[in-house]
Amino acid sequence: MSILPIKKEILDYYKSIPKCELHAHLNGSIRENTLRSLLKANGTTISGHIFDSYHNRTLSECFTLFDLIHKVTNSTEVISKITREMLEDFSAENCKHLEIRTTPRSLRDCTSEEYVDLIIDEIQNSHAVKSKQMNVSLVLSINRGSHDLNDALRVVEIATKKRIVSGIDFSGNPFKGKFADFLPAFQLARKKNLKTTLHFAEKMDPQESMKMLDFVPDRIGHANYLNTEIRERLLKMKIPLEICLSSNVATESVKSYQLHHLSCWVKNDYPVVICTDDLGIFRTSLSKEYAFAEQYTKIPRKLLTQIAKKSFQYKFPKLVLPKLH
């Protein structure tokens, strides 16, 4: 992925406007300095130029970072730290509503449910939430690459217990697992009044994409590989779409910012939300994603400002309130 320059005036404008983030993964949003420190503390050395600020990170290096992050975010102390920093980073970007995505998992010192409670505590005690500068909710992810149906049902069970969990996400390696195998978990989530969002069309698989649309999720993410039939169906259904430009370019799902399909959706007045996916992995921010859209897709600022305003309409409903003492 090329690290493209952004004009200061454009970036400053998007930092100034209120924004809504609806597709941000906790572990992938780790600060680069924090990851460096954790790797050093674990005695892990990295060869090459993966942390060179002038180096264009390759696809293989992105996946190397995903693996490294998972290995070092293995304690409650670390999860607390990266949650606090993520909240600080989004608040600094003038983000007024944030949905944090994460897969419940056991760490060396906590269970998967305690993992969720830990993140909730950090959210509720954050300055941004207490001061009402930012609303935050949690979306729990079902991982198609590592979960089976029982695991997925357990994620839904945990979600129903936590008042700030607003939805369930379907994510993970798109080349593993099938949505149909997890459908009962998403049907249960809907029955329990949890919203649903699906990582959608991350590979060319029209049959699975159709099954996802048959379910009619509340939102979808990415939509990079569509045939004509699926595209036409989406245009009729108008399911809000989470767009992650830098992520799509870095993972080579889209050839460049200039050729990103965001422009096509905007031309069709389709409901879209501009998001980050993973702040740390893709070296981005919410303001940068809007700035990339203006500078490289040539979508007018007026339209992008309207997209930012409309994004709040597509958030999942539950809000976090500070703890009462």
Report pLDDT digits (tens) over 154-190.
999 999 999 899 999 999 989 899 999 999 999 999 9
> What is the value of pTM for the model shown?
0.93
Residue 165 phi, psi (nearest 5): -80, 120
C-alpha to C-alpha distances, 292 to 245, 275, 287, 298, nearest whole angstrom: 8, 12, 9, 9
List the alpha helices (DSSP H) in the chain: 8-16, 32-41, 59-72, 76-92, 112-124, 127-130, 149-161, 179-191, 206-215, 228-237, 245-250, 262-267, 286-297, 301-310
pLDDT digits (tens, 9 = 90+) for 87-145: 999 999 999 999 999 999 999 999 999 999 999 999 999 999 999 999 999 999 999 99
Contact 260, 254 (CB under 8 A): yes
202 is catalytic: yes
Model pLDDT, residue 66: 81
**Domains of the chain by start residue, with CATH:** 8-314 (3.20.20.140)
Model pLDDT, residue 47: 62
Residue 173, C-beta contacts closer than 8 angstroms, at least 6 positions apart: 144, 145
Specify the residue for token string 């509503």.
97
* DSSP letters spanning 208-258: HHHHHHHH--SEEEE--S--HHHHHHHHHH---EEE-HHHHHHTTSSS-ST
d(CA 50, CA 18): 33
* Backbone region of residue 298 per phi and psi (left: phi > 0; alpha: psi in -120 to 50; beta: other values): left
d(CA 87, CA 151): 28
Residue 274 phi, psi (nearest 5): -85, 130
- Label residue 322 by pLDDT band (50, 70, 90): very low
Model pLDDT, residue 55: 56
Model pLDDT, residue 95: 98
Of 21, 61, 93, 202, the catalytic one is 202
Name which of 233, 199, 227, 195 is nearest 213 in CA terms. Answer: 233
Instruction: State the Rg of the chain over Cα.
Output: 19
Model pLDDT, residue 62: 73
pLDDT digits (tens, 9 = 90+) for 202-223: 999 999 999 999 999 999 999 9
3-state secondary structure of 36: helix
The 8-class DSSP code of residue 152 comes to H
Residue 322, C-beta contacts closer than 8 angstroms, at least 6 positions apart: 124, 125, 129, 130
